[in-house]
Structure 1
Amino acid sequence: MPQPPAMHRTLLALTTALLPFAAPAETVKLTLLGVGDVYNFTEEDGRGGFARLNAVARAERAANPNTLYLFDGDMLSPSLLSGFDKGQNTIDLTNLVPFDLAIPGNHEFDFGPANFLEKVKASKYPWAAINITNADGSPLQGVGGVMVKDIAGLKVALIPVAQDTSPSVAATGDLKFLPSVSTAIAAAKAARADGADLVIGVVQTDMDNDRKLMKSHAFDVILSGDDHSYATAYDGVTAYVETSIDGQFLSPVDLTIDIAQNDGKREISWTPAFRFIDTATVQPDPETQAMVDKLAAGLDETLNVEIGTSETALDSRRNIVRAAESAMGNLIADAMVAATGADVAIMNGGGIRGDRTYDAGSKLTRRDILTELPFGNVTVLTELPGSQLLGALENGVSQVEKGAGRFAQVSGVSFVYDASAEPGARVSEVMVGSSSLNPDALYKVAVNDYILGGGDGYSSLGGGRLITDTGAGNLVATDVMRYVEKSGTVKPMVEGRIKPLAP
């Protein structure tokens, strides 16, 4: 083939040199495995538990070295075993297959900040949260901030964010919690400005806040806990996973990332692929299962003891105890009255955790009661004017439409409420025993120490005359076990203590 003249060849070379240069794209596969709200060390109906969770994490890392295993909150509590070891079992089990990063959920503080920090020290993986500080604004020792990891030449920023409502639902002491959403978005934008190729949110927020984080488009991926549900989404900009409960259903996200150089400028593009893993199909990790079996054996001897029979059906499902009068709630509140001689008892529905039903005629065991009441809360008797008791009842139904844990299960009192009214003005027709509530009269009210201290928004319970304090009271679970044992047979039922006003 004839060559162009020398002058033309020179012009061709100069022209080619001036054209934008596009280098071949490099492709990287990054896998993100998120999990949260893992409470129970063992499986349930052949699904979930740490042995299956650890098996999945090991398999994902073996299949792709570019895997990030991320925890988005809540494992130290509540569980049957955490009532004894304050969550140490979850640290031991996760240390077998450590996370790349863990953020504290609100339940990490159920036994107070000191216990959480003790568990942080015992962890073989890092904990972080950008929106938690000490009272003076200083960082928590051992709890980090934004983590940037170099993975296959990619700069990946992990934005760890805790639930800003934690002080109202857990024993956080004097720790400060900055707003989850605005703090997260600001940190994500800062990480992007600092050159992060990918920005991953590892957060414990409810779905309303998850939507706000997605809408900001400050994140490439968000892995979120707290809602105890499973969900995935992708709006073309941000991929999202809500990470289920107890490791029952897992969704690794595979990002296929193209890294290109166009005219000296680095360009990143990616596409997500969501995988669904039902852990009922997963073979448990042998090393973890051995530890699980040892923990289970230690509990069985003392807990599998029958204490009585329930003639009636019981229901402790989360959507029931947080939204309506329940037979299980009545049983617990009645036991608190029997133990203290109170006029009224209030138990926050969020403190009832069995999430199951019992058929009429069921034999109740110590294990059943401790599973229902795993927090180690103490029964406390206080004396309050009727006006404060009314405030507590108002708080109990103030977020019923959200399924909040503050919903009140009660004994010795009945009332009507209107969920369509403004919070704080929903309760009417309050009866204490057979008499109408007197706002000026004093009533003896049995509660648990958590809500007495203002937990779940129960600030109106404060300031009363303590008749039994937290040092003198029994565990709520102990009071219930003694009540069932003494009765032999119990028959709690829904009887109209809490009546929603029909729309």
Structure 2
Amino acid sequence: MSQARRNSLFLAVALATSAITAPLAAETVKITLLGVGDVYNFTEDDGRGGFARMNAVARAERAANPNTIYVFDGDMLSPSLLSGFDLGQNTIDLTNIVPFDLAVPGNHEFDFGPENFTEKMKASAYPWAAINITRDDGTPIEGLGGVMMKEVAGLKIALVPVAQDTTPEVSSSGSLSFLPTVETAVAAAKGAREGGADLVVGVVQTPWDNDRQLIASKAFDVILSGDDHLYTTYYDGITAYVETSVDARYLSPVDLTVEVEEKDGKRTISWVPNFRFIDTAMVEPDPETAAKVETYAKFLDDTLNVVIGTTETPLDSRRNVVRGEESSMGNLIADAMRAQTGADVAIMNGGGIRADRTYDAGTQLTRRDMLTELPFGNTTQVTELEGKQILLALENGVSQVEKGAGRFPQVSGMAFVYDPAKEPGSRIVSVTVGDAALDPAKTYKVAVNDYILGGGDGYDALGAGVMLTNAGGGGLVAQDVMTYVEKSGTVSPKVEGRIKTVGQ
């Protein structure tokens, strides 16, 4: 055999061997995940956020990459000024313009009761899902799905939808049952992986404490989370995480560069994330959505831009204030509830005060202001309670102050001192009603809103009294405040020592 023949044969064998042993070239796929959550207000805030900009981003992402998954991780039906009129239908109409691939209900989806949520699900042009919500007998809820397996660019992507298990404490979910958020989510994620999912994505509405546990489980590739009203991205080499901001002010699409490789009959998946930051102040609003937003804005302007009085002192309804200390706005609201009912004392949960803003001294207050502060449609109720029950209610109110929980009490007609360093349930140091110490055996008339009277935010103690308001009676809390301001003409609430911590 000639040398040339030998060389040719050697090359042919080498090529054949290479074809057998070398892996197939890896396929690269780009997947974009866009999550939004905690979107309440139909319009923008100082040129940022709102549904028109949110829809514009979603349209652009889908246009740029057909392998885009767009999800909602909870809280839009309430609270907002307009939702006080239409029970959240505006949010459904606006999101139907650019539908989600999947939506998870947040606790605020149940503010107007489970029946309203069911109606809004039916009106949606996209599917709702949550693996941990059932009827009280454990049966599924019609129209509410579970884990969604989507095939995108040849990849099986499991969307694991999980709601917040504290919903019955902080909303009006009726008899619905909520399974533990973390335990249920992790089990479902592992099940999806065993079922053949290439990527597992958690779509969750739950606070940061639970998010940390979900990340630590290593069961998820990506977690898109709402509830904390923050913008956060994180990656530990195993799980990519996005906390999706509030009112679509800042959005973070996550691009996954996925390498798919097959070798010896085995398919392997590897990926790296790229977090993109979008300040929606730089986004041109979606024209179709903007036109609908304009009609809503005109309706509210025509209805609510009516001056009812003037505040002579600054008012503060910022979220961290009303949920953690005495607030001038909290005092105004509680004072109005007490004045309109003739109660001895009033208690208003800070989480029910929602505008998250300040007002300068001299500001003219409008109906819009009061309905923005109090958008839930709650009514003022009066009940008779013994002092010991009021004490239990206050203990509940300060039991989660370190978490910024909405149960923190704003009060009128009384003052209290508490020690946040003590164990929950034993933090109240002293309580006075008027000029006298709270008498555990004495009966007091207490004005509260119907939400906490029914045990909302953990206020079970309020249900132990004798109702003085007729069944179905009681005016709107917002209307009580508007009437109080209108009668007064000018108001001058200020922080005056109603709520103190030890050492103050």
Q: Could you tell me the TM-score, scaled by structure 1's length?
A: 0.98
Cα RMSD after superposing both structures? 1.5
2:101: which partner in 1? Answer: 100
**CA-CA distance at 1:163 after TM superposition:** 0.3
1:32-56 per-residue CA deviation (whole Å, 9 max, x = no partner) reads 0100000000000000000000000
Give CA-to-partner distance per residue, 1:160-186, whole Å, 9 cap, x none: 000000000000100000000010000
- Match of 2:117, SS? helix
Shift, 1:3, TM fit: 3.3
Question: C-alpha deviations, 1:400-455, integer Å up to 9, x for none?
Answer: 01100000000011010000001010002210111111101100000000000000
Cα gap change, 1:12 to 1:24, in 2 (>3 Å): closer
Aligned residue in 1 for 2:351: 350
Change (3 A) 1:10 1:242: closer
Q: Which residue of 1 aligns with 2:481?
A: 480
- Give distance in 1, aligned partners of 2:53 and 2:14: 63
Give runs of aligned pairs for residues 43-192 of structure 1, distance below 5 A.
43-192=44-193
Displacement of 1:263? 1.2
Query: C-alpha displacement at 1:24, in angstroms?
Result: 0.7
Note closer, same or farther for the CA distance 1:15–1:93 as it changes in structure 2 (3 Å cut).
closer
The alignment of Structure 1 onto Structure 2 pairs a total of residues equal to 502
**Which residue identity lines up with residue 403 of structure 1 in the other structure?**
G
Aligned residue number for residue 209 of structure 1 = 210
In 1, Cα distance between the equivalents of 2:468 and 2:69?
Answer: 52
**Which residue number in structure 2 is paired with residue 416 of structure 1?**
417
**Is it true that 1:311 corresponds to 2:306 in the alignment?**
no
Task: Give matches, 1:242-281, under 5 Å.
Answer: 242-281=243-282
Matches of 1:499 and 1:8, distance apart in 2: 89
Tell me, what secondary structure is at the counterpart of 2:241?
strand
Paired AA for residue 3 in structure 1 = R
1:192-229 deviations in Å (ceiling 9; x for gaps)? 00110000000001011111101111000000000000
Structure 1 residues 425-464: aligned runs within 5 Å: 425-464=426-465
- Give the superposition deviation at 1:13: 8.1
**What is residue 197 of structure 1 aligned with on the other side?**
198
Task: For 1:16 and 1:492, locate their aligned partners in 2 and report how far apart those are by CA, in whole Å.
Answer: 83
Using the TM superposition, give the Cα deviation of residue 2 of structure 1 relative to its aligned residue in structure 2, in angstroms: 2.1
1:4 counterpart SS class: helix
Instruction: Mark the CA change 1:428 to 1:9 in structure 2 (over 3 Å): closer, same or farther.
Output: closer
TM-score by length of 2: 0.97
Q: Secondary structure at the match of 1:83?
A: helix
| Correspondence for 1:302 | 303
Check 1:405–1:469 CA distance in 2 against 1; reply closer, same or farther (3 A cut): farther
- Do the aligned partners of 1:449 and 1:470 also contact (CA within 8 Å) in 2? no
Q: Which runs of 5+ in 2 are unaligned?
A: none
Contact residue 389 and residue 464 of structure 2 kept, 8 A = no
Amino acid of the structure 2 residue aligned with 1:50: F
Letter in structure 2 aligned against 1:59: A
Contact 1:132–1:178 (Cα < 8 Å) also in 2: yes
| Residue number in structure 2 paired with 1:3 | 5
Determine the C-alpha separation between the residues in 1 that align with 2:155 and 2:471: 52
Q: Report how far residue 10 of structure 1 moved.
A: 9.7
Change (3 A) 1:12 1:25: closer
Return closer, same or farther for 1:426/1:46 CA change in 2, 3 Å cut-off.
same
Q: Secondary structure at the match of 1:468?
A: coil
Per the alignment, in what secondary structure is the counterpart of residue 2 of structure 1?
A: helix
Shift of 1:11: 7.7
Q: Could you list the per-position Cα deviations for residues 284-317 of structure 1 after superposition, in whole angstroms to 9, with x for gaps in the alignment?
A: 0000000000011011112000000000000000
Deviation string, structure 1 residues 79-112 (Cα, Å, up to 9, x no partner): 0000010000000000000000000000000000
Native 8 Å contact 1:34 1:69 kept in 2: yes
Secondary structure, counterpart of 2:351 in structure 1: helix
Q: Summarize deviations over 1:111-164 as a string: whole Å, max 9, x none.
A: 000000000000000000000000110111100000000001000000000000
Residue equivalent to 1:393: 394
Moved over 6 A (4+): 5-14
Identity fraction in percent: 71
Give SS of 2:365's match: strand
> SS of the residue aligned with 1:371?
helix
1:234-281 deviations in Å (ceiling 9; x for gaps): 000100000000000000000011111111111111110000000000
- With 363-372 and 423-432 compared, the bigger mean Cα shift is at 423-432
Distance 1:278 1:2, change over 3 A: same
